[in-house]
Amino acid sequence: MNDCLFCKIVAKEIPAEIVYETGRTLAFRDINPQAPTHVLVIPKGHHATAAVLADADDGLADEVLKTAHAVAVLEGVADSGYRVVFNTGLGAGQTVFHVHAHVLGGRDLTWPPG
Ligand code: AMP
Ligand code: ZN
């Protein structure tokens, strides 16, 4: 997947601020943060969407979720609360087709707002 932005981050061809890493996952800060904590968690292997990842059936989706929680703990937002979002498909606003969980925290995230 030479043309995949997040594969290039895994390969260290594009810099990223890495906050956590496991054997099969990588967590790095979103370049355009929407909250004080905004970290993206990806599998190192290329899977286009959360739907593809869900079908992989090899424990990788589980590892992505565990990494998301580890990031929340490291960032100090696990107790206050955090959100994990997979935008899946164009209609949901997915722009990078290498599956990524957004981990958001550090501000009021109650929904609906107010
Ligand atoms: P999505 O719209 O769910 O596909 O999210 C893609 C996310 O990737 C956006 O929040 C972008 O800000 C983020 N992003 C794009 N390029 C980079 C990059 N080079 N490093 C870190 N985050 C990025
Ligand atoms: Zn990729």
Ligand 1 surroundings by CB, under 6 angstroms: 5, 14, 16, 30-32, 40, 87, 93-96
Rounded to two decimals, what is the model's pTM?
0.97
The full set of domains in the chain, from first to last, is 5-105 (3.30.428.10)
pLDDT digits (tens, 9 = 90+) for 11-57: 999 999 999 999 999 999 999 999 999 999 999 999 999 999 999 98
Distance 65 CA to ligand 1 centre (A): 18
Cα distance between the two ends of the chain: 42
Identify the nearest ligand to the CA of 8 by its number: 2
DSSP 103: E
Residues with catalytic annotation?
A: 100
| 27/106 Cα distance (integer angstroms) | 17
pLDDT exceeds 60 at position 72: yes
Q: In which band, very low, low, confident or very high, does the pLDDT at 113 lie, cut at 50, 70 and 90?
A: confident
User: What is the rounded CA–CA span in Å between residue 28 and residue 38?
Assistant: 9
For residues 60 and 12, what is the distance between their CA atoms, to the nearest angstrom? Answer: 21
Sheet containing strand 18-21, strands side by side: 18-21, 25-29, 37-43, 101-105, 82-85
In the reported structure, the alpha carbon of residue 33 is separated from the centroid of ligand 1 by a whole-number distance in angstroms of 9
What is the β-pairing status of strands 25-29 and 37-43? antiparallel
